[in-house]
Structure 1
Amino acid sequence: MTQTIEVKKDWQSIAKEVVGGRKVTKEEALAVVQAGDEELLAILQAAYVIRHAYFGNKVKLNMIINAKSGLCPEDCGYCSQSIVSEAPIDEYAWLTKEKILEGAEEAVRRKAGTYCIVASGRRPTDREIDHVVSAVEEIRETTDLKICCCLGFLNETAAAKLAAAGVQRYNHNLNTNEGNYENIASTHTYEDRVDTVEQVKAAGISPCSGVIFGMGETDQEAVEIAFSLRELDADSIPCNFLNPIDDTPMEGRRELNPRKCLKLLAMMRFVNPTKEIRISGGREVNLRSMQVMGLYAANSIFVGDYITTSGLEAREDWGMIEDLGFEIEEKAV
């Protein structure tokens, strides 16, 4: 049962203290998530104070290419590529190097600063790492894109190879709170995920790690994952909202509404004030008409499609950012 904790809710004062260097408590973070809808605008205004202090009105765009689809032995209940999924998705082995390079060109056209090369599977083989390295080296020679990879669990050798090739960021989400993890997957553990993030950091690659909200976690567990990501010192934090795909174990699960999503984004900004907070998968189906308001807390979004689900057209995202009076940060930093 979710516990409600009474905290003095002077959101503006808390935001100014955060900008001044104070870390919010778990009780304050929980109060953000559990606040009444009548407080939503005040919470977003306060989150914007923090966001603006570190990122101004800039919005970072990221684009994904699904370089290897399906055929995954893991049993993650949210994923359409999982071995336990019966969702009708495209399944294919690795895209050619040329296709990956074409994706980089498309990322530039979509005004993305970061290009994310994603592949299904538990752990990349040496041959797969070499395939990615070859593509990354050429992309780095011909574009200013920041390269992010998401290839599964990594060991020290693979992480070092990616770093040497010029991969600047590696994504490996924690996905949910440690205590909730056994309800999400059984073929690997929460600790396995933490280990890969630590391998990435040790190799000198910027860690990207985030969450999927709406998978049965309590409000307290949502706060716990935000604090775990703070402790892990993830530079980029994707905030996904469960898109319950038909024929996956989590089909039909709808625990979120747009207002709750906005409070979760604001909470993540309060807890991780200096980090890139990205509105990620599921924003279109969970935030719906309120997507634009998420950018008062977050400073980054994906542009285009996700791994197996569709996103908006790039021009729609550009227009949303322009209507808000914000601007796209086209050069990765």
Structure 2
Amino acid sequence: MTKALERELPTREEALQVLAGDDDLLKIVAAAYRVRREYFGRRVKLNTIINMKSGLCPEDCGYCSQRLGSTAEIMKYSWIDPTDAAQLASKAVQAGAKRVCLVASGRGPGDRDVRRIEGTIDAIKSEHPQVEICVCLGLLKDGQAEVLRDAGAHAYSHNLNTSEERYADICTTHTYADRVDTLERATKAGLSPCSGAIFGMGESDDDVVDLAFALRELDPDSVPINFLIPFEGTPLEGRWELTPERCVRILALFRFCFPDVEVRLAGGREIHLRGLQAVALHVANSIFLGDYLTSEGQPGTDDLQLIADAGFTVEGLNHPTLPTARHDLVTLRRRGAGTTTPPNA
């Protein structure tokens, strides 16, 4: 905890100890809460997902109900109209959402897809200019991140999902390095990087720590933590290995590794945390409101009641999420001489 308050990374031994189960859970939660409170007070940031295009993905990510070969009985549809997306966004913003996440299945966007997202961003921003727009379209090609930035996107989301060591166990149609490349493209373009993980796929404690440390190197502004929803019709169906305590310990580890970063409760929180959702809010400072991509979450009114009952408040549109220390005027050079990244000239 002391290291986290100083923004220092725990050692591998310390990180493994958080996960091992030797220390009392409430002791770990209390330590994580002190860090959370230091940087985020008692605020909870609300995010919402709009699934712009569902199913029929050519990638074979084993955890995903939209994957190639999935027989999960999910909704499948092509791009929804920007006006419809804006209406969905408006409803979420009125319920307290500060960030709208526009997500589309597929390996990566074509230029036509990027133009569709441009129109959707414009439709949302015309009504809610202060809302954050996060885009998640898969692997990016040259110039696409810059187009999204210029269109008004605030962030780009692309999860690493699992450790590099075992990435090929969950996906063969693209690589861990492909995902890192896309996140770096987004960051270089000036989009706020959002990247996290999915747990419950058979990963070891070492895998969890490896991923946390790898993400720390990429320096994301937000880290969504998903817990596997083992859809029938996917390779990981029937995999129910998580316990509520395991989920909270994982969240605590990520809070210690990302003390001043938005740590978000994402997919699967309701079914895996169950009665410990309120406890988890003492570690994470952000949640998704309502439904996910292909599964339903608990009603938004229940989410708001959960936050109130736990003694937290919803973060407003005008309140900065990240502490000012992450947005000072000094930017360390990461390009030009001594690197493989071109200079900004």
SS in 2 for 1:85: coil
Report the AA paired with residue 19 of structure 2. Answer: V
CA contact (8 A) 2:108 2:139 kept: yes
SS in 1 for 2:133: strand
Normalising by structure 1, we get a TM-score of 0.94
- Whether 1:168 aligns to 2:169 is no
Post-superposition offset of 1:279: 0.6
User: Which residue among 223, 230, 247 is the counterpart of 1:261?
Assistant: 247
Post-superposition offset of 1:255: 1.4
RMSD: 1.0
- Whether 1:211 aligns to 2:197 is yes
SS in 2 for 1:41: helix
CA deviation string 1:264-297 (max 9, x = no partner): 0000001111110001000011101111111111
CA contact (8 A) 2:82 2:123 kept: no
User: Which residue among 100, 117, 124 is the counterpart of 1:115?
Assistant: 100
Post-superposition offset of 1:138: 2.9
CA deviation string 1:179-204 (max 9, x = no partner): 11011000000000000000000110
Report the AA paired with residue 122 of structure 1. Answer: R
Report the AA paired with residue 320 of structure 1. Answer: L
Once residues 237 and 304 of structure 1 are traced to their aligned partners in structure 2, the CA distance between those partners, rounded to angstroms, is 18
Match of 2:54 in 1: 69
Report the AA paired with residue 42 of structure 2. Answer: N
CA deviation string 1:89-148 (max 9, x = no partner): 111110011111112111212210000001000011101100111121232232121000
Post-superposition offset of 1:236: 0.4
Match of 1:58 in 2: 43
Match of 1:270 in 2: 256
- Whether 1:93 aligns to 2:54 is no
SS in 2 for 1:89: coil
Once residues 220 and 241 of structure 2 are traced to their aligned partners in structure 1, the CA distance between those partners, rounded to angstroms, is 26
Normalising by structure 2, we get a TM-score of 0.90
Report the AA paired with residue 238 of structure 2. Answer: G
User: Which residue among 312, 318, 332 is the counterpart of 1:326?
Assistant: 312
Post-superposition offset of 1:20: 2.7
User: Which residue among 188, 197, 210 is the counterpart of 1:202?
Assistant: 188
CA contact (8 A) 1:156 1:203 kept: no
Match of 1:307 in 2: 293
Deviates more, 1:190-199 or 1:283-292: 283-292
Once residues 90 and 20 of structure 1 are traced to their aligned partners in structure 2, the CA distance between those partners, rounded to angstroms, is 46
SS in 1 for 2:9: coil
CA contact (8 A) 2:7 2:259 kept: no
Match of 1:148 in 2: 134
User: Which residue among 199, 208, 213 is the counterpart of 1:227?
Assistant: 213
SS in 2 for 1:305: coil
User: Which residue among 6, 17, 24 is the counterpart of 1:31?
Assistant: 17
CA deviation string 1:61-93 (max 9, x = no partner): 000010000010000111000012110111111
Post-superposition offset of 1:156: 2.7
Once residues 171 and 292 of structure 2 are traced to their aligned partners in structure 1, the CA distance between those partners, rounded to angstroms, is 21
Once residues 118 and 17 of structure 1 are traced to their aligned partners in structure 2, the CA distance between those partners, rounded to angstroms, is 35
SS in 2 for 1:140: helix
- Whether 1:178 aligns to 2:170 is no
Once residues 148 and 92 of structure 2 are traced to their aligned partners in structure 1, the CA distance between those partners, rounded to angstroms, is 20
- Whether 1:126 aligns to 2:102 is no
CA contact (8 A) 2:196 2:225 kept: yes
Q: Which ranges of 4 or more aligned residues in structure 1 deviate by more than 6 Å?
A: none
Post-superposition offset of 1:212: 0.1
Unaligned runs of 5+ in 2: 321-345
SS in 1 for 2:147: helix
CA contact (8 A) 1:77 1:84 kept: no
Match of 1:5 in 2: none
Once residues 314 and 258 of structure 2 are traced to their aligned partners in structure 1, the CA distance between those partners, rounded to angstroms, is 21
Once residues 79 and 109 of structure 1 are traced to their aligned partners in structure 2, the CA distance between those partners, rounded to angstroms, is 30
Match of 1:80 in 2: 65
Identity %: 48
Post-superposition offset of 1:217: 0.8
